[in-house]
Chains A and B, each alone.
Chain A
């Protein structure tokens, strides 16, 4: 990948705290983007106003909680996922992204203190030696968009590979996997792609890679020995959505059965107070109702219909375990006939990790 050519368009300034300035990530960025100004600041607040945007990267090694359980959603079933806030913020610019509404005027933060994070991680892994543990970096930002530049995921993949019960997942809307392919010991590392039909990618997913690029990257990853996962989240009910999602589901049949460890589904949703900040996207004119966690979703009956259809197509094409992200027990029962804890092939995904 030609770093300076690509990243010069997305990174106009780099700031680092004194503790992060000599990190490997900082060395990589100064070496690979020589033309981008690099400055030291005591904290994120000291970044000048003109650089408080998503074309600025802020490297920090400040102590603080960077690892923990996914916050989930009140009164909705949680998959007990553990998240590492490695990249906080994302320049991709998806229209539906709540994070974009919150973090648009914030530099993208990169937490470079890998040692501190792995230490926290080890404590949890050691307390749960026999429990399947899923850990990922795609909650607060795209796991791989900046990763060819900073190469931080590599550390976690290698570290987690020593634990047979740990699935370390990188989740992306990019196709930037080449820098991960040569890692010799991958353990149960999972390369995951958020997927949507190309029509939705074009309309809603900013500078994300195309569907074909993502699937090609998935193919490379699986051939290099990675496990795969796919996330259909958010599913958006546009005109001809059935045809579009069926087409994407069909394309997943190219992957060998058993290599896809999980597929998640989630219909588009937003907290009421952020509706205005999402602008005037056509999908917002559909019928949304407030749910028990305060977020607005499609009417339950409509969501159920969407999930049943998409889950049916995906089961047929992949046979992979499916789960829904932030859905109510009522929808679980209507789609799968039971809630997650009663579904055999979801035990590995939903087992609670003790902390």
Chain B
């Protein structure tokens, strides 16, 4: 059978309208009645909201439709998720919709439901989804748009909303992993220094306006280490000018520096040895870094 108009159905019940309009169905399928049927139970649409919206938007008046016997809401939810058939790729907003549907209808979120939603093993599904629901809107937006993973979002949840909104706004300034590091370090600086919302937001803006926000924020998060790196760089540059490479152990964790240089003649060798002798004046300063 076919149904029309969609407006009535679309506005009739949004209870099962759980999924985002992810899939774009080709117009040709609509024109030839080849789309999957919209599913109705007790005249309530269970699945096919996205199809109906797309049909409406492209001016298709009718869609195939199938009526099924009335059933428990839990079974109807299974049917809707099974027909949506995107296990493992639902967004957090869709997970939120599913969880809220379950909670409103007293449906226990058991392993069977979770397995229809997630492709593999997913621990603490309900807990994580509840956490997402509790996020401020700006953070939800960041997670929903896959700009930040849920685990990192949990860590920085107490960052002021303007900071998160700003990071979203300036999304092109940071890669995915830079964004995670930036937000975590901003959160740590806020906690460490007891910054208020206004101060944190100002810091966030200053950092994001800089050419290299991650580097600048790292210097604020690790002031000692970054000043040591700066100091080391000055020494290294002195030698580099003479064609000598100076290297330090990672994070200055160790007891030896290394120097390396190429030489092409006795004269060239002597020049480098002289440069090293002159550098001896800086050796004590260098060793204070370890």
Asked whether, in the complex, the Cβ of A328 is within 8 Å of the Cβ of B191, the reply is no
Q: What are the residues of chain A within 8 A of B255 when measuring CB–CB?
A: 328-330, 333-334
Asked whether, in the complex, the Cβ of B251 is within 8 Å of the Cβ of A290, the reply is yes
One of B191, B224, B288, B289 near A287 (C-beta < 8 A): B224
Q: Give residues of chain A (284-310) contacting chain B, Cβ–Cβ below 8 Å.
A: 284-287, 289-292, 297, 299-302
Q: What are the residues of chain B within 8 A of A48 when measuring CB–CB?
A: none
Q: What are the residues of chain A within 8 A of B262 when measuring CB–CB?
A: none
Residue A130 at the B interface, CB < 8 A?
no
Taken together as a complex, chains A and B put the C-alpha atoms of A330 and B254 apart, in Å, by: 6
Taken together as a complex, chains A and B put the C-alpha atoms of A334 and B251 apart, in Å, by: 16
Asked whether, in the complex, the Cβ of B290 is within 8 Å of the Cβ of A334, the reply is yes
Interface residues on B, range: 20 to 34
Asked whether, in the complex, the Cβ of B253 is within 8 Å of the Cβ of A287, the reply is no
Residue B266 at the A interface, CB < 8 A?
no
Residue B225 at the A interface, CB < 8 A?
yes
Q: Given A280-B191, A285-B191, are A301 and B251 neighbors across the interface (CB < 8 Å)?
A: no
Q: Give residues of chain B (208-234) contacting chain A, Cβ–Cβ below 8 Å.
A: 221-225, 228
Asked whether, in the complex, the Cβ of A328 is within 8 Å of the Cβ of B192, the reply is no
Asked whether, in the complex, the Cβ of B228 is within 8 Å of the Cβ of A282, the reply is no
Min C-beta distance of A302 to chain B, whole Å? 7
Q: What are the residues of chain B within 8 A of A289 when measuring CB–CB?
A: 225, 250-253
Min C-beta distance of A77 to chain B, whole Å? 13
Residue B198 at the A interface, CB < 8 A?
no
Contact string against A for B residues 188-202, beta-carbon threshold 8 Å, 1 for contact and 0 otherwise = 110110000000000
Asked whether, in the complex, the Cβ of B288 is within 8 Å of the Cβ of A301, the reply is yes
Q: Give residues of chain B (116-163) contacting chain A, Cβ–Cβ below 8 Å.
A: 151, 155
Q: What are the residues of chain A within 8 A of B252 when measuring CB–CB?
A: 289, 299-301
Interface residues on A, range: 20 to 34
Taken together as a complex, chains A and B put the C-alpha atoms of A307 and B131 apart, in Å, by: 42
Asked whether, in the complex, the Cβ of A299 is within 8 Å of the Cβ of B225, the reply is yes
Q: What are the residues of chain B within 8 A of A329 when measuring CB–CB?
A: 255
Residue A276 at the B interface, CB < 8 A?
yes
Min C-beta distance of B219 to chain A, whole Å? 11
Taken together as a complex, chains A and B put the C-alpha atoms of A135 and B253 apart, in Å, by: 31
Q: Give residues of chain A (246-296) contacting chain B, Cβ–Cβ below 8 Å.
A: 276, 280, 282, 284-287, 289-292
Asked whether, in the complex, the Cβ of A328 is within 8 Å of the Cβ of B254, the reply is yes
Asked whether, in the complex, the Cβ of A291 is within 8 Å of the Cβ of B253, the reply is yes
Closest 7 CB pairs of A and B: A330-B255, A285-B192, A289-B251, A287-B222, A300-B253, A285-B188, A291-B253
* Beyond A282-B191, A330-B290, A334-B255, 18 additional pairs, beta carbon < 8 A: A282-B192, A285-B189, A287-B221, A287-B224, A287-B225, A299-B224, A299-B252, A299-B253, A300-B251, A300-B252, A300-B290, A301-B224, A301-B228, A301-B288, A301-B290, A330-B254, A333-B255, A334-B290
Query: Can you pick out 16 interface pairs between chain A and chain B where the beta carbons lie within 8 Å of each other?
Result: A280-B191, A282-B191, A285-B188, A286-B192, A287-B221, A289-B252, A290-B253, A292-B253, A299-B224, A299-B228, A299-B253, A301-B228, A301-B289, A328-B254, A330-B254, A333-B255
